Amino acid sequence: MIKINEHHQKLQASYLFANINKRVREFQQKHPERDLIWLGIGDVTQPLPAACISAFHKAVDELASARTFRGYGPEQGYDFLRETIASHDFQLRGADIQADEIFVSDGAKCDVGNFQELFATDIRVAITDPVYPVYVDTNVMAGRTEAFQDGRYPGLVYLDCTPENGYSPQLPREPADLIYLCSPNNPTGATMTREQLQAWVDYARENRSLILFDAAYEAFIRDDQLVHSIYEIPGAQDVAVEFRSFSKTAGFTGVRCAYAVVPKRCTAYTAAGKPVSVRDLWLRRHTTKFNGVSYPVQRAAEAVYSPEGQQEVRKLIDYYLTNAAYVRESFQRMGVACVGGDNSPYIWVRTDRDSWEFFDFLLDKAGVVCTPGAGFGRCGERHIRISAFNSYENIQQAMQRIAGVLQAQSPSSLSR
């Protein structure tokens, strides 16, 4: 008899964004005439930068000739891309990251979900609440938790991010071995300061823990005081793995390209306490389970770093940041408390109402799709997330509709 991995039975019925899609589809079936504006999942809407398109075309043409054709590429990624990433994203910022510490992949979601496979089942995993659900669900699947209870999985260490602490995770009271941090944060849009990150790196060094640092939204940072990489923090190379993505940076959500940085100095331990290179473990796993990102996609990603690519990407991010500022300022004008949207495409809005109920309310009354905060964890309750990934016109229209329906409602139910 084929038996299942029982831990999968502990998962919520469906993944958050699949659940939202299902609800919206049902709504659309009932109300086909309604014109909905999607500010839910963070999926880009603007076309790829011209520099990427042209590199993409050129690479496809190379595959059309026997002389320049390429079959399997290196699992870790082509040198041309890894060297460009190491120099541009890290060395230029004073972080000594080498090309052989970069692993090109088809998405940060997969990397951040797969990475926990390297570690023992009985490690203590710390996650923020609210959190990107992939961190939680993959640890549930791996058997690191008990069954879901009162909105949480016993066995995980939850780091509450609330209005009281500025949505910033505080160091845990109990020891944690694997720590997931995300900055600029999905879903809250909050960013961690250099000092806060230094405290986490110091904690990880003291406790021989490992930080999985999700920097998928790094390109949205505009504040010069903020670091773009955890490796700008002294000591981080011993205790942190970083995840980056071209999805939100350059519009690659459908094209698929990302990378993980696993420094050679990063260490984990055997049960007997013997140090083991995390990079070597990941290299072994990556080369066994992954056959590389396609050549044209890697050429398109390389083009992000060309002078034209850099200009175009900056324009693209500015576009979404203008949207985000519009959303934030609109809520502020309505007297509704929110954070994010300055160094992030997400705005985290305090509704002080049940978040799924508020999701249904916005869908029904305003025709706007948001993401209910409770989908990101218990501390996400009474919040919603608004994504700035849409056209400026749609963002304006969505905010006008929201202002209209909130005005028509008793405003006292919203946080001020």
- For binding to ligand MLT (CB under 6 A), which residues are involved? 41-43, 109, 186
Closest CB to ligand MLT among residues 258, 414: 258
What does DSSP assign to residue 143? Answer: T
Distance CA 94, CA 103 (A): 20
**End-to-end Cα, the chain, rounded Å:** 58
In angstroms, give the least distance from the CB of 54 to ligand MLT: 26
What does DSSP assign to residue 167? Answer: T
Distance CA 146, CA 10 (A): 8
**Which residue is at the shortest CB distance from ligand MLT?**
42
Closest CB to ligand MLT among residues 304, 406: 304
In angstroms, give the least distance from the CB of 100 to ligand MLT: 27
- Asked if 90 contacts 260 with a C-beta cutoff of 8 angstroms, the reply is no
Closest CB to ligand MLT among residues 176, 379: 379
Closest CB to ligand MLT among residues 78, 167: 167
242 - beta bridge partners? 213, 261
372 - beta bridge partners? 384
Q: Take residue 23 and report the two structure tokens written for it.
A: 């609800």
Closest CB to ligand MLT among residues 256, 299: 256
In angstroms, give the least distance from the CB of 186 to ligand MLT: 5
Q: Backbone phi, then psi, for 161, in 5-degree steps?
A: -115, 105
- Asked if 51 contacts 251 with a C-beta cutoff of 8 angstroms, the reply is no
Closest CB to ligand MLT among residues 41, 405: 41
Handedness of CA 105, 98, 228, 267 (dihedral sign): positive
In angstroms, give the least distance from the CB of 253 to ligand MLT: 7
Closest CB to ligand MLT among residues 39, 204: 39
In angstroms, give the least distance from the CB of 381 to ligand MLT: 17
What does DSSP assign to residue 304? Answer: T
Q: Backbone phi, then psi, for 14, in 5-degree steps?
A: -145, 160
In angstroms, give the least distance from the CB of 301 to ligand MLT: 17
Closest CB to ligand MLT among residues 97, 317: 317
Q: Please count the other Cβ atoms lying within 10 Å of the Cβ belonging to residue 80.
A: 13
In angstroms, give the least distance from the CB of 213 to ligand MLT: 16
Identity of the residue numbered 157:
V
Q: Take residue 152 and report the two structure tokens written for it.
A: 């949480």
What does DSSP assign to residue 45? Answer: -
In angstroms, give the least distance from the CB of 141 to ligand MLT: 16
Give the angle subtended at the CA of 204 by the CAs of 345 and 129, to the nearest 5°. 40
Closest CB to ligand MLT among residues 132, 295: 132
Q: Please count the other Cβ atoms lying within 10 Å of the Cβ belonging to residue 91.
A: 14
Closest CB to ligand MLT among residues 246, 295: 246
Q: Which residue is associated with the tokens 């002080």?
A: 352
In angstroms, give the least distance from the CB of 384 to ligand MLT: 13
163 φψ region: left (φ > 0), alpha (ψ -120 to 50), beta (else)? alpha
Distance CA 387, CA 303 (A): 26
In angstroms, give the least distance from the CB of 380 to ligand MLT: 12
